Structure 1
Amino acid sequence: MPYDTSFSPTPRPARRRRSLLAAAALGCVCLIAGCGGGSGGGAAAQPREGGGGTSSPPSLSPSPAKGGPSARATSVPPSSSKSASRTVSGPLSGKTVVIDPGHNPRNHEHTREIGRQVDIGTTHKECDTTGTSTDSGYAEAEFTLDVAHRLRALLQAQGAEVVLTYDNDRPYGPCVDERARIGNRAGADAVVSVHADGSAVGNRGFHVILPALVHGGAADTSKIVEPSRELGTRIAGLFVRATGSAPSNYVGGNTGLDTRKDLGGLNLSTVPKVFIECGNMRDPKDAALLTSAGWRQKAAQGIADGISSYLRG
């Protein structure tokens, strides 16, 4: 059955039409604002916080991620909620989006700190993990920062206020509970945590992780399950359109969607939030995409299109 890139989450024709119109409008914005600036081109198996890889990435310097813009994002300490004032007006003016680049390039230098347990409501988990990497040594944390930078530029060009949970401005983390708090304190209209998976060779494709209905301790997702599903569904459909990638052949039954209750970043969120695993770094074919700057621009565009479609209704 062909994959439905319109991805209408509910049988409401009017809403679906608005979604498609929003996607078309986004293309116009990008033509005017020049927000498609790439070079063109192209885990769940391990219950870790947004990444299934078990091997440590190579040593990385704390310099900005490859392929990202030269300007750094405003750093967002836990007590802060908003990014620097923007001057661009557009279809997303008045909306706040939090981008959460998974892991940290220097987590592997701080295994004791990231290994400490934090409360995720239903249980305790590690503060963070190192993430995975390609066989050639391209780290997931470097990938996620690069895509986050590209995504930020696309959203800001449409007038959104964009907050990054971190921008290579701290030695490790943030911990998963802090990542959730940053989105909550920002009063975000949408939060997307960017990742890449570390599964077996032959496992290919992307999947979007949605929050399950969880109620325990500090976790209560009852108010965000439905809006998060709509956000994730729109991102999945428009990610296919922008990248040409297929949904995961090993998670989610070829729907590109997976629901989990073991991720603190989702359990502790009080605003609509999803994770996206953009591909499998351990598969050579997926790795070739993930290491391509042109494909990363397409990935950022697909995520931005999904966010815009969701926020514009």
Structure 2
Amino acid sequence: MSYDSESPTPPRRRLRGNLVIVTAALVPTVLAGWLVWQAMDGSGSHDDKPPKVLPLPSAPAARPSGNGGAEPSAATVPAAPSPSAPASSPSSPASRPTGPLAGRVVVIDPGHNPGNFQHATEINRQVDIGTNKKECDTTGTDTRGGYTEAAFTLDVSHRLRALLEKQGATVTFTQDGDRPFGPCVDERAAIGNRARADAVVSVHADGSAQGNHGFHVILPALVNAGKANTAPIVGPSRELGVRIAGKFVHATSMPPSNYVGDGTGLDVRKDLGGLNLSTVPKVFIECGNMRDSGDAALLGDAGWRQRAAQGIADGIGDFLAK
């Protein structure tokens, strides 16, 4: 975003009949091995690779990979289970997310929306952010080569979601390019509030001048005006921001901003509705300056975006592990 603007996812086919019976009689040792495998929850390989293409659909924390989901051969298919055997339930322990972030809720807020450019009237509508009124949303910025902030934020957010879900977190997006525009900044805050999120991160890239480079994390200021009261979240939000900033430097080697935050990589603002109206810990991260040629080259690189997502995920994990 521009610095002076609002910043603002089998059952195995039973082989019936004589083939199963004959096979079962011929290969008891294979069947025994299969039963042991089942007793160990039938765990196999999982797809740990981060997404490489967009859009990446929302998925459970543990997904069978293409290889892990291959249909078994006739020699390894067991006889049909007894009709009285209980069916597995989605709420059974084996189906629940596991990992260090299991039970934690994270809301990712990809800044702007690719459709905002076609909906100027809608996004220019004024909304109440507590301290004053501001635009519903903005288009965001872009690189001089035309890579938009809205595309960047969705890409990093998809990668971030995959990393967090792998650790067991429940992840919600405020938008996934699945709506014509927006949502407005007040609705973005409300989505995190309704989810009772343990942490919310709004992903952005800045639109400052050439020569201004580096990242910074925006923290909520102490605000108590109208619908806004940030007193309960100022402390935990700062802790979340500090941890993300530290991990982001480590993962990306991107230095803190040389034009915002006095070299700390942290900035406090009271003019952002997404922060003012939040009732849960929330920060914004400006991953770099899209209008600076050096930063733009990094932001446009898929490998660097993966490292950026890793840094943010590490910071969130560090915060939630406290």
TM-score calculated relative to the size of structure 1? 0.76
Q: CA deviation at 1:50?
A: 2.3
Correspondent of 2:134 among 116, 125, 144: 125
Whole-angstrom distance in 2 between the partners of 1:193 and 1:254:
21
Whole-angstrom distance in 2 between the partners of 1:87 and 1:197:
38
Q: CA deviation at 1:87?
A: 4.3
- Structure-2 residue corresponding to 1:48: 5
* 1:194 pairs with 2:203: yes
Correspondent of 2:103 among 94, 99, 102: 94
Correspondent of 2:265 among 256, 262, 265: 256
Residues 14-62 of structure 1 deviation map (CA, whole Å, 9 limit, x = unaligned): xxxxxxxxxxxxxxxxxxxxxxxxxxxxx77x421127xxxxxxxxxxx
Say if 1:67 and 1:146, in contact at 8 Å, map to a contact too. Answer: no
Whole-angstrom distance in 1 between the partners of 2:211 and 2:295:
9
* 1:72 pairs with 2:81: no
By relative contact order (CA 8 Å, sep 6+), the higher-ranking structure is 1
Counterpart residue type for residue 72 of structure 1: P
Gaps of 5+ in 2: 9-50, 60-89
Aligned residues: 247
- Structure-1 residue corresponding to 2:85: none
Whole-angstrom distance in 1 between the partners of 2:53 and 2:127:
31
Residues 73-114 of structure 1 deviation map (CA, whole Å, 9 limit, x = unaligned): 38xxxxxxxxx9974310000100000000001101000000
- Structure-1 residue corresponding to 2:239: 230
1:125-274 superposed matches below 5 A: 125-274=134-283
The structure having more radius of gyration, on CA atoms, is: 2
- Structure-2 residue corresponding to 1:295: 304
Whole-angstrom distance in 1 between the partners of 2:184 and 2:309:
24
Counterpart residue type for residue 164 of structure 1: F
* 1:275 pairs with 2:260: no
TM-score calculated relative to the size of structure 2? 0.74
Q: Cα distance 1:68–1:211, how it changes in 2: closer, same or farther (>3 A)? A: farther
Q: Cα distance 1:68–1:273, how it changes in 2: closer, same or farther (>3 A)? A: farther
Gaps of 5+ in 1: 1-42, 52-65, 75-83
Q: RMSD of the TM alignment (CA)?
A: 1.7
Whole-angstrom distance in 2 between the partners of 1:68 and 1:225:
36
Say if 1:73 and 1:164, in contact at 8 Å, map to a contact too. Answer: no
Say if 1:180 and 1:268, in contact at 8 Å, map to a contact too. Answer: yes
